[in-house]
Amino acid sequence: MSESATEILLLSGPNLNLLGAREPEIYGTETLENHVETAKNAAARHGLSLHHEQSNHEGELIEFIHQATGKSAAIVINAGALTHTSWAIHDALKSFSGPVIEVHLSNPGAREEFRHLSVIAPVADGTISGFGNLGYELAIEAVASLLGRS
């Protein structure tokens, strides 16, 4: 990554494109577009830009992570249910040299047992969970701080 990179890559995993339409009692009524807008506005306050990609395919998410090297200063990721299973995303994130922040709308630790394990957490600088839309803003604040831009 060039020292001057100011772009944050926001990655959204499987089913997050359905937000707003189903399960509002767990994930709220806001759409993924709303969360991206929140993150973009927070990034702009720190002179950072934000590029968003959503995919329902594990391999595609891995390609986006590979492409971030040399281009993005940091990655914010909500990997959806792949959070709990994808060692391939774990490995891809491990090879990215900038800050990585894991974000979740809900608090997986307070939900079903299978959501208690995150295989992303060991390769993230930190995790923000349970705050819905606010979590996206907090994740960008964390990135700005880690990049020395707060």
Residues lying near ligand CA2 in the complex (CB under 6 A) are found at: 15-16, 18-19, 22-23, 27, 78, 80-81, 83, 104-106, 108, 115
Annotated active-site residue 104? The verdict is yes
CA dist 55 and 50 (Å) reads: 17
% helix / strand / coil in the chain, to the nearest 5? 45, 15, 35
User: Is 27 noted as a catalytic residue in this protein?
Assistant: yes
Closest approach of Cβ 148 to ligand CA2, in Å?
A: 28
Selecting among 84, 104, 116, 136, the annotated active-site residue is 104
Pairing type for strands 74-78 and 49-54 reads: unpaired
Judged by beta carbon, residue 46 or residue 130, the one nearer ligand CA2 is: 130
Residue closer to ligand CA2 by CB (options 19, 142) is 19
Q: Whole-angstrom Cα distance, residue 106 to residue 71?
A: 30
Pick 6 or 15: Cβ nearer ligand CA2: 15
Q: Shortest distance, CB of residue 2 to ligand CA2, whole angstroms?
A: 31
Q: Look at residue 50 and give its three-state secondary structure.
A: strand
Query: Which amino acid is present at 146?
Result: L
**Residues that are catalytic:** 27, 104
